[in-house]
Amino acid sequence: MININRRSFLAHSVALGIAGFLPTVANASPSMAAKLPTTRSPLSLPPLPYDEGALAPVISARTMSYHYGKHHAGYVANLGKLVAGTGMADQSLEEIILTTAGQPDKAAIFNNAAQAWNHTFYWNSLSPTGGGEPPTELKARMEQSFGSVEACKDALATAATTQFGSGWAWLVEDNGRLAVTNTANADIPLTEGVKPLLTIDVWEHAYYLDSRNRRGDYVKAVLDKLVNWEFAAANLG
């Protein structure tokens, strides 16, 4: 992960159109979530855009209760404790990520802030009515960059299944073209100056209760049945 200064990060954020996107409305339409401004404190847990059981059977309500209710909530709670009484307490998640990226002495703050951001983005990257055909503009961009929608999905599947250990697979927009990348642990494409369009969480707690050690089965099911192409399309520049 590269270390960039505050001005550079904010310039990237404005150019990419992602600063302050985090959803603030319960049960907001996933396709509109990327366009909602943030008025919520970074220390609040955003609501899920659907019920805990809505992604079953691929992702069960039991998994969601732990993943969202324990892991995601834990990152938000930990972040609150870490920044309490500091100048970061009232900053957005993007600003906290900027302030701490690449600084070993602030790794705990960065990890919890980035994981809070990543998880909100992940929930919106999924939909109970997901999968299927991408919207027209996104489909054309996928075909331009990968040759076909299936080739794009294959690249995402490869990134997700070959990520060693915990991490994330991302569909991103980089200089006008779509690309696939993966990050380890809490790392996030924003620090590289590229725009996330959607993500797949491949930490074991995302799938182990439902799929055990079969990460590939989980990834395939997400791409076939849950991936929110409308959310990705809404994030396009």
Give the annotated binding-site residues for Mn(2+): 67, 119, 201, 205
Copy the structure tokens of residue 159.
């990134």
Q: What is the dihedral of CA 49, 189, 171, 111, to 10 degrees?
A: -50
Residues annotated within a binding site: 67, 119, 201, 205
Using alpha carbons, select from 234, 223, 226, 166 the residue that is nearest to residue 196.
234
Residue 178, strand partner residues = 173
User: Radius of gyration over alpha carbons of the chain, in Å?
Assistant: 17
Rounded CA separation 70/181 (Å) = 27
- Give CA–CA dist 95/43, Å, rounded: 13
